[in-house]
Amino acid sequence: MTGPTKTMATLIRRLPLTESSLIVHWCSDEYGIVKCVAKGARRPKSLFAGKLDLFYRCEIEIVPARKGDLHILKDVAVRNSRLELRKTYRQTLAASYFVKLLETVAEIESPIADLADLLERGLDYLLTHPPDRRAVLHFEKQLASMLGILETGVDPASSISDTFGKLPKQREELMKLFESAS
């Protein structure tokens, strides 16, 4: 990245930095996982007030860091708030699992157009469909295929786990919820 850059991205993580600022992680197809400081975001009259919530799809403007990978978030315009993902615990948990799984396999600031598109499709699916075992397994299969680690006769989750380490903890809880609902 050189000079201020605009891109579409989904907010995937928020962390407090100071009393008034946040560190926010975005998933962008052009730049991959991008970390930014949102200066003053925690102030009541902030330019960012109401615009930095998980799963929001936004047009963002980033000022690249001179050193390191922590950039400055200059502007945000929410394009899709995906508020429906907060309707049920299951929807929020499934969306969180998709995000955590993507974070497990993606490198910081590496273009991941296919993976970012998979995340977008997964989150958008959850907006209108209750999460179920089939949806989670489909997401894992698509991810393993895109990563080139899908093997015939091998569970995609096992392939991901074997290649990248432990799967996110949300998966176990999701599977228990799916079993109890059957």
Task: Give residue-wise pLDDT tens across range 37-88.
Answer: 999 999 989 999 999 999 999 999 999 999 989 999 999 999 999 999 999 9
Q: Same structural domain for residues 112 and 135?
A: yes
Q: What is the pLDDT of residue 119?
A: 98
The 10s digit of each residue's pLDDT in 145-155 is: 999 999 999 99
Q: What's the rounded mean pLDDT across residues 93-113?
A: 94
Note whether 103 and 65 are same-domain residues.
no
Give me the domain span that covers residue 30: 5-81
53 and 115, same domain (yes or no): no
Query: pTM to 2 decimals?
Result: 0.93
Q: Do both 37 and 116 map to the same domain?
A: no
User: What was the pLDDT predicted at 3?
Assistant: 76
> According to the model, what pLDDT value does residue 1 have?
61
Number of domains the chain is built from: 2
How much is the pLDDT for 34?
96
CATH number, domain with residue 54: 2.40.50.140
Regarding whether 118 and 59 lie in a shared domain, the answer is no
Q: Would you state the pLDDT for residue 4?
A: 85
- The string of DSSP letters for the chain reads --SSEEEEEEEEEEEE-SSS-EEEEEEETTTEEEEEEETTTTSTT-TTTTT--TT-EEEEEEEPPSSSSEEEEEEEEEEE--GGGGSSHHHHHHHHHHHHHHHHHPPBT---HHHHHHHHHHHHHHHHS---HHHHHHHHHHHHHHHT---TTS-HHHHHHHHHSSPPTHHHHHHHHHHHH-
* Residue at which a domain ends, from 81, 104, 136: 81
